[in-house]
Structure 1
Amino acid sequence: MTGGLLRLETRRSVMLWMLPLVAMLFWFITYRPSMASPPLWNVRAMAMQTTTLAVFAPTVVGAAAWLGWRERRHRMADLVIGTARPRWARQLATWAATTWWAIVAYLGCVGVLYGVTAWQGAWGGPLWWPAVVGAVSMPAFSALGFVAGVLRPSRFTAPLVAIGVFLALQISLQFIHGDHSYWQISPLVAGPWEIGPDPGVATFYRYLPDLPIAQVLFLAGLTAALLGALGLPAGAGGRCLRRCAAAITAAGLVAAGTAVMLAGTGRLDAHGMIAIPLLHNAGNDRPVRYTPVCSHTPIPVCLHPAYTGYLPAVTEALEPILTEVVGLPGAPVRISQSAAIYEQGPDNRVTISRAGPPTSGTPPVFHLLLPHQMTTDEFAVELRAAAGHSIVNSVVGGGRDANPAQQAVTEAILGTSSVAPPGSPTAAAAQRLAALPTTARRAWLLEHVAALRAGQLTLAQLP
């Protein structure tokens, strides 16, 4: 009989009629923006967890709340008292049917997004933890809405609780300050909040499951507590059943409270993920092995294979500079992409820097940190300004303490005027050197670069 009741509830669940709306909202809020971002598993999966749950939360909660007061709405409460199954069993069947359709819809949406991402050639494998957190959220949303409908039966309950849950989830994110916030337990959080879709997270190192595990524990505990609360009233069933419901409620509250406390012990690790000491596996701190993809420029540019799509833009931005400095003393023999180091600042600010010095080894290798969250034009400008300056400085010397001659040569090679003020003698010398044919400028550099690095040349000695 239980199976028949569940099949009946599944066929007539109002959640079934909400599936077209869910699919449309998912396409508009999650799928379209994801397709505008590069095909990186970490970027799309982490953004998917936040936006997809924002779509499903009000929809599932509203549908479950509408079903929660169905018996009162149809004035059937007295008619079903004499049925063979206790009220709690009937309620669980209705909740299970709503949850079933919510999970089917969620997995279908995630499957489409992940399938397209794989078809576009994303490196590595899918990140499953964001999808798991979303799937476990469906029973919790359904239970929350259903309990609200049972306890406050009204035609206004479904829209009000749907809007309330959506606002509560969004407002809770505003209380996240730093990496030790208890509010990180929200299922909308997939990593350090406000760090943005940083492609460097979960690329060079594994995606940490610490925070997702705490979120799954919280959601499972919340679901158990809500469903157990339905079995506590005297009319829900016999004394044994109510004791069982009380035990489930207590266990759920303990699990949810424990998860919140664990989230409050989280910290931002050096690789950009939230690590929770009691849940952390040190094996996840090992770097992921990969074979870099390299350009065929005079000085090869080698990137992580996840960034293969970035290679043409990086090569185009750096090739003029590499052509100028290749073979010169101090010039790198390879440009190799570097992992980033993340450090928590005040509130939610996160400092992102290069892991290690710009240049290391013999012969020297330049470690490149790619800029993030920029348009194509901004990407090229930022790359030339940051990496280009560092590469040229490794050849001409000086760095921050460069003398006027070193500044002029740097500006001439980069084709910029960011150091020397326009109209100054340094700027004039840079323009004069930049006007020389490439072969003549390179011949002069080969002959004088040692003296230039030693700081022995003046502006008057530049050609």
Structure 2
Amino acid sequence: MSAATSAPAAADQRPAATRADLVVLRLLRLELRHNAMAWLLPIAIGLFWLTTYRKDMAQLPLWNLRAAGLQSGAVLDFAVPVTGAAAWTASREARRRLTDQVSVTARPRWARLLAPWAATTIWALVAYLGCAAVLYGVTEHQVGWGGPLWWPAAVGAASLPAFSALGFAVGTFLPSRFTAPLAAIAAFFLLALTTQPIHGSQSAWQISPIVTGPWDLGPQGVSATFYPFVPDLPIAQVMFLAGVTAALLALLALPAGWAGRSVRVAATGLTTAGLLAAGTAVALAGTGTMDAQGMIDIPALHNTADDQPLRFTPVCSDTAIPVCLNPAYAAELHLVTDTLTPLLDQLAGLPGAPTRILQTGVVLQQASNGVSARPAAPRASGTAHVFPLVLPDELPGPSMTAKGLASQLQDQLAQSYGPNLVARLVDYQPGESPAQDAVAKGLLLAAGLPGAQAPSSGPDRADPNPWPDLAPGTPAYAAAERFAALPASTRHAWLVQHLAALRAGRITLAQLP
């Protein structure tokens, strides 16, 4: 009888590091399949569509407006559910009374917690990046000039690991079935209340990831349009979020028995480094000030190259006096020309009339009662005959929709820029010449702007005194109606011949045709 022989089982020849990596990947795959954040994705995406995407799409197609809306809106949309999901997952062992059973496993507790944290963060990041890609993709097909701004999107992405780590820390150290909803609510109020202490443009509270610029200024279209986008504040915010994430994750390895001695020493160093990075970022944000273009400059992070204006070729109309806009505002050109063309046809060729109307940015300045704005000087050669134009969405204030802009733009052009053009033409001085009043009113009536008032202030007028409104029935109003009723060629010929005398105040009402 022959002895039966059996070959020894083949030993696993893979290195220990490779086997450990496979174990980690297998554990991560299991956590991804059963993670609570996967069930909350429809809620997060629904919040994004309802509160961020729809609001952004209603705004003007400008990269800086859409990017700022993405950062401030998406952080709230995703941070709340990811904090709740992370807290729920972290408290899983305590809720199921498994702490004693899993404590005897080969892997330390901090290592077991990293896999579910990573799974929660991955699900949140995948959904966020998908939403951001859709918003940026649609914007790319709508904008007329410029390119995507990535720093605001990076701040939103960096906030998700931080809030996931916050939820894990809360759920780990305060395990309860009530921890997850309370953590989610706390995350919402934490984000919302961080903006309350911000007053002015220099505040350390601007480190909040939902802040995209000077909080008192609000959404402002001209920033990052006439000048490059200044990434100083987003850099500080990403630094703060990365430091908070590192500190919170390292905190999980500090309790005795949760990790080996060497790991706890390394975790102590990582916690300290994370807190130092976060504290440094807060201090940097406190040194930031609003620049003239409505962005935050942080001296230690600022690149002086961002102070140079962007080069662009204006988009101009073919009207009698060309109207030229920044290409980012090309969609608004027809609104400007439709309103001003009748007046421009009358002014073209007259002595002292502008040869071009050029859109210019605004210069902003922090004031005691808010933010003041004034037009920047036109950046063009021969600016003596260039009339500056500032559009309503360049000015500080609530964000406007495209529909609201059309109405407000036409009102502003009719109520302010039309009279400003006429005032410049006749060299108007308040109350000095009834003939100037009548000619100016007549030109506005002939241009179809009967309700326009002469300017009290504006980009080309510094005089605080209002132009007197000519009441119907007065001699000046009658002269204005008579002047407006003249044929356009007759009115133009008279102005060419008598404009100098009208400016000098040598024309009386009786001398008007």
Note the 1:69-84 alignment, pairs <5 A: 69-84=91-106
1:226 match:
248
Aligned match of 1:452 in 482, 495, 502? 502
> Alpha-carbon deviation of 1:129?
0.6
Structure 1 spans left out of the alignment, 5+ residues: none
Q: 1:404, 1:176 → 2: CA distance? A: 50
1:161 match:
183
2:283 match:
261
Q: 1:24, 1:426 → 2: CA distance? A: 61
2:101 counterpart SS class: coil
Letter in 1 for 2:409: F
Letter in 2 for 1:449: L
Contact 1:333 1:363 in 2 (8 A): no
Question: Which is greater in Rg?
Answer: 2
Contact 2:323 2:358 in 1 (8 A): yes
Letter in 1 for 2:439: V
User: TM-score under structure 1 normalisation?
Assistant: 0.96
Q: 1:12, 1:28 → 2: CA distance? A: 27
Q: 2:390, 2:379 → 1: CA distance? A: 9
Q: 2:280, 2:174 → 1: CA distance? A: 29
1:298 match:
320
Query: CA deviation digits over 1:312-342, x for unaligned, max 9?
Result: 0011111111111000001111111111111
1:173 counterpart SS class: coil
2:57 match:
35
Aligned length: 462
Cα separation, partners in 2 of 1:313 and 1:64, compared to 1, 3 Å: same
1:172 match:
194
Q: Which shows bigger deviation, 15-24 or 427-436? A: 427-436
2:311 match:
289
Q: 1:261, 1:399 → 2: CA distance? A: 51
Q: 1:10, 1:394 → 2: CA distance? A: 68
Contact 2:201 2:216 in 1 (8 A): no
Contact 2:67 2:152 in 1 (8 A): yes
Note the aligned Cα RMSD (angstroms): 1.8
Query: CA deviation digits over 1:361-390, x for unaligned, max 9?
Result: 366111211112453222111123332222
Contact 1:358 1:390 in 2 (8 A): no
Letter in 2 for 1:62: G
> Alpha-carbon deviation of 1:157?
1.1
Letter in 1 for 2:504: A
Note the 1:269-288 alignment, pairs <5 A: 269-288=291-310
2:231 match:
209
2:442 match:
412
1:83 counterpart SS class: coil
Runs of 4+ residues over 6 Å off in structure 1: 357-360
1:18 match:
40
2:102 counterpart SS class: coil
Q: 1:444, 1:33 → 2: CA distance? A: 52
Q: 2:173, 2:440 → 1: CA distance? A: 72
Contact 1:359 1:367 in 2 (8 A): no
Contact 1:343 1:351 in 2 (8 A): yes
Letter in 2 for 1:422: A
Q: 2:355, 2:243 → 1: CA distance? A: 56
Q: 2:136, 2:512 → 1: CA distance? A: 57
Cα separation, partners in 2 of 1:343 and 1:317, compared to 1, 3 Å: same
Q: 1:75, 1:246 → 2: CA distance? A: 29
1:368 match:
389
Q: 2:225, 2:430 → 1: CA distance? A: 32
> Alpha-carbon deviation of 1:400?
5.1
Identity %: 55
Cα separation, partners in 2 of 1:358 and 1:452, compared to 1, 3 Å: farther
Cα separation, partners in 2 of 1:406 and 1:258, compared to 1, 3 Å: same
2:426 match:
396
Aligned match of 1:241 in 247, 263, 274? 263
Contact 1:9 1:93 in 2 (8 A): yes
Q: 1:10, 1:422 → 2: CA distance? A: 75
Query: CA deviation digits over 1:171-230, x for unaligned, max 9?
Result: 221211001111110000111114232211110101100000000011111111111111
1:326 match:
348
Q: 2:35, 2:419 → 1: CA distance? A: 63
Aligned match of 1:127 in 116, 127, 149? 149
Contact 1:180 1:264 in 2 (8 A): yes
1:302 counterpart SS class: strand
